[in-house]
Amino acid sequence: MLNSRDRELGMHCKITRRDFLNGVAVTAGAAMMPWQLFADDDPATPEKSAGYYPPALTGMRGSHPGSFDAAHSLRDGTFWDSAGKPEDTGESYDLIIVGGGISGLAVAHFYRKTAGEKSRILILENHDDFGGHAKRNEFKVGARTLIGYGGSYSIESPEPYSATARAVIEDLGVSVASFPKYLERDVYASGGRVPKIFFDKETFGADKLVDDPCPFPGGETFDLAVAGPRAWEHFLAEAPMAEAARKDVARLCREKKDYLPGLSPEKKKDRLARISYAAFLKDLAGVHPDVIRLYQNVSFSEFGVGIEAVAALDASESGYPGFSGMGIDASSLENERKYFFHFPDGNATIARLLVRKLIPEAIPGNSVTDVVTAKVNYARLDEEQSPVRIRLNSTAVRVKHLGDAAGAKEVEVSYARGDKVYVTRAKNVILACWHVVIPYICEELPDQQKEALSSAQKVPLLYTNVVLRDATSLQKLGANSIYAPNGYHTHVDADLPVSIGEYRCPRSPEEPVVLHMSKAPCRAGRPAREQHRMGRMELFSTTFETIEHKVREQLARTLGPGGFDPARDILAITANRWPHGYAYEYSSLWDDFVLKGGPTPCEIARKAYGRIAIANSDAGAYAYTDEAINQAWRAVEEIRKA
């Protein structure tokens, strides 16, 4: 039943597909699978249907309903109870890759380079689209197509890209240095749109949008995240915080102060590695409690937890304020900005470029600019005559050597697709999927390795794309990105204005736009891994309707003073839910071995076993595209040398 507030928010309005693709609770049984929407021809091969085009689906995406059921039932030990006898495909490959994310696609790319282009490769992917976290969202508004990123946002990394990863990017035709050519800087600058903070009345006593004088890095705005010319004046006068807190923010961001005088840089780093950024602010910088309230969740987009769980040393390396006078000079920001490229669909373009190299028939065109608007022909991804095949909607459920791992000549892979289980074989298998899944599908691995694989906790994230009829409210409020310390989504960003190939970003405030909103579900105050585990459960059990309600409420409060009406202005919502998001990165606060030394779990986890090798960004415990590629290369080398 809708109440009057729901109606004001527009919960009764029809937005694209909402009614089809609702979320499902963790325990819910049958839900409509996205691919069933397309199954107008043969339900066994939805990808062959003319209308099969997952990027255009809205509603609950990311790990969409239907993508995880088989894996969860394996985890719960119930899968084989109801699975029928596997049907033999009779196929045989040189290599089967489990996981069609950037790591899996890069594995295929490298393997063809070393073993030849005629090598027969099968990629199994449990989602209805390829790319893994590199996910494209498309929206139609009238005749216009808007593109958004549903996951991985850009080519960037705190560490320099390795020669291997750079070579792949160049091989795909991406000239990272050319990015400024596609960035339309004037779109926001000419309209006076700058980063803002939304103070909420529950935390700060008043709903208020104030200039952000010191935007934290880690948002989605590259070097456009520059404070407005009068930001300090506005913030110091208007921010609904104690006066001492406002002054503390200014001290933190503007003064070069050493908060650990008398210690050598090495000793300072050691100390900062052992305390959280929250403790640094409170105990060393001595800020007012309102400053902690303001910044508690600022780290969500980068770390997936609040500042009480982020090591101060990591915060300093990420360029957070407070360290400029400490003589430790650790920030990697410069490096990130030097090697940066954002496509309108984020790194989904990298996945699409890889697929075009592997299966040219599936994606028309031949340049890095024409791929941006190219339409993938999903029917061509899995064809018998093609040396490389990508089989979507297919979850690997069992991977085992045929015989003893040391002497076997083949590996057998069973996978669930629709309501059937199939079995197929290859000379080698590379598992480029999430490490937590591997112990359930590859039972023959040594126990110690399975334990290490299971420890690869993923960081849950929610990336919600909201299509607005226009950006006039943002224009009126002078905002291009908004940090909402206690919002359901903590970051609200208008995408970087990038025009590339035939794609034109929205330029005038009267045009429709995609607003990107992100959230990191977690539980402040607990150990990081526990926070991620609890956040994952929350995300799995949150319905699309709840997310939609939160979006409408948040935008009404934030943009309402600019004339925004959620019932009128929201045209579509895509919630990209990633309960298994970023690879877990080791932290000096939570992982003993970081300070003590010794082998890390990912080194144990990624060991090859017989004819099976292991890739994915989890294999490097590093949540970046370059690592997904580096680990793909290592895994291919391991089977080549075996």
Ligand X SMILES: Cc1cc2nc3c(=O)[nH]c(=O)nc-3n(C[C@H](O)[C@H](O)[C@H](O)COP(=O)(O)OP(=O)(O)OC[C@H]3O[C@@H](n4cnc5c(N)ncnc54)[C@H](O)[C@@H]3O)c2cc1C
Is 132 an interacting residue with respect to ligand X (CB under 6 A)?
Answer: yes
**Hey, what are 414's tokens?**
């069973």
Is 358 an interacting residue with respect to ligand X (CB under 6 A)?
Answer: no
Beta-ladder partners of 97: 123, 430
Question: Token match 């090798």: residue?
Answer: 613
Least Cβ distance, residue 153 to ligand X (angstroms): 3
Looking at the Cβ atoms of 199 and 463, the one nearer to ligand X is 463
Q: Which of 10, 55, 65, 101 binds ligand X (CB under 6 A)?
A: 101
**Hey, what are 345's tokens?**
């669909």
Is 83 an interacting residue with respect to ligand X (CB under 6 A)?
Answer: no
Is 616 an interacting residue with respect to ligand X (CB under 6 A)?
Answer: yes
Looking at the Cβ atoms of 276 and 318, the one nearer to ligand X is 318
Looking at the Cβ atoms of 10 and 23, the one nearer to ligand X is 23
What whole-number distance in Å separates Cα of residue 259 and Cα of residue 46?
A: 60
Least Cβ distance, residue 622 to ligand X (angstroms): 9
In 3D space, the residue among 129, 102, 58, 193 whose CA is nearest the CA of residue 464 turns out to be 58
Total binding residues for ligand X by CB under 6 A?
Answer: 40
Is 559 an interacting residue with respect to ligand X (CB under 6 A)?
Answer: no
Is 102 an interacting residue with respect to ligand X (CB under 6 A)?
Answer: yes
Answer for the pair 279, 310: CB distance below 8 angstroms, yes or no: no
Q: Which of 49, 58, 126, 276 binds ligand X (CB under 6 A)?
A: 126
Q: Which segment (18-26, 92-100, 315-323, 469-477) binds ligand X by CB under 6 A?
A: 92-100
**Residues 201-260 contacting ligand X, CB under 6 A:** none
SS3 labels along 361-427: HHCCCCCCCHHHCCCCCHHHCCCCCCCEEEECCEEEEEEEECCCCCCCCCEEEEEEECCEEEEEEEE
Least Cβ distance, residue 241 to ligand X (angstroms): 30
Is 276 an interacting residue with respect to ligand X (CB under 6 A)?
Answer: no
What whole-number distance in Å separates Cα of residue 621 and Cα of residue 436?
A: 12
**Contact map string, positions 386 to 405, toward ligand X, x by CB under 6 A:** ---------xx---------
**Hey, what are 479's tokens?**
């905002």
Answer for the pair 326, 319: CB distance below 8 angstroms, yes or no: no
Is 624 an interacting residue with respect to ligand X (CB under 6 A)?
Answer: yes
**Residues 329-348 contacting ligand X, CB under 6 A:** 347
Looking at the Cβ atoms of 135 and 288, the one nearer to ligand X is 135
Is 79 an interacting residue with respect to ligand X (CB under 6 A)?
Answer: no
Is 305 an interacting residue with respect to ligand X (CB under 6 A)?
Answer: no
Answer for the pair 148, 516: CB distance below 8 angstroms, yes or no: yes
Looking at the Cβ atoms of 160 and 327, the one nearer to ligand X is 160
Type and span of the H or E element at 122: strand 121-124
Beta-ladder partners of 573: 466
Looking at the Cβ atoms of 193 and 435, the one nearer to ligand X is 435
Answer for the pair 356, 371: CB distance below 8 angstroms, yes or no: yes
In 3D space, the residue among 193, 512, 192, 153 whose CA is nearest the CA of residue 341 turns out to be 153
What whole-number distance in Å separates Cα of residue 26 and Cα of residue 539?
A: 9
**Contact map string, positions 562 to 601, toward ligand X, x by CB under 6 A:** ----------------x--xx-------------------
Is 148 an interacting residue with respect to ligand X (CB under 6 A)?
Answer: no
Least Cβ distance, residue 101 to ligand X (angstroms): 2
Supply the DSSP symbol for 198.
E
Is 98 an interacting residue with respect to ligand X (CB under 6 A)?
Answer: yes
**Residues 425-454 contacting ligand X, CB under 6 A:** 432-434, 437, 441
406 burial (CB, 10 Å; 0-12 / 13-18 / 19+) is exposed
Q: Which segment (86-94, 128-136, 276-284, 544-552) binds ligand X by CB under 6 A?
A: 128-136
Looking at the Cβ atoms of 297 and 395, the one nearer to ligand X is 395
Beta-ladder partners of 208: 199
Q: Which of 60, 134, 522, 547 binds ligand X (CB under 6 A)?
A: 134
Type and span of the H or E element at 613: strand 612-614
Least Cβ distance, residue 240 to ligand X (angstroms): 31
Looking at the Cβ atoms of 103 and 324, the one nearer to ligand X is 103
In 3D space, the residue among 488, 640, 12, 589 whose CA is nearest the CA of residue 278 turns out to be 589
Q: Which of 38, 52, 153, 204 binds ligand X (CB under 6 A)?
A: 153
Type and span of the H or E element at 453: helix 447-454
Least Cβ distance, residue 105 to ligand X (angstroms): 7
Is 484 an interacting residue with respect to ligand X (CB under 6 A)?
Answer: no
What whole-number distance in Å separates Cα of residue 576 and Cα of residue 519?
A: 11
What whole-number distance in Å separates Cα of residue 384 and Cα of residue 48?
A: 13
Least Cβ distance, residue 149 to ligand X (angstroms): 8
Least Cβ distance, residue 559 to ligand X (angstroms): 24
What whole-number distance in Å separates Cα of residue 40 and Cα of residue 51?
A: 8
In the chain, % helix, strand, coil (3-state, to 5) comes to 35, 20, 45
Looking at the Cβ atoms of 246 and 450, the one nearer to ligand X is 450
**Residues 518-537 contacting ligand X, CB under 6 A:** none
Sites of contact with ligand X (CB under 6 A): 71, 98-104, 124-127, 132-134, 151-154, 156-157, 347, 395-396, 432-434, 437, 441, 461, 463, 578, 581-582, 616-617, 623-625, 628
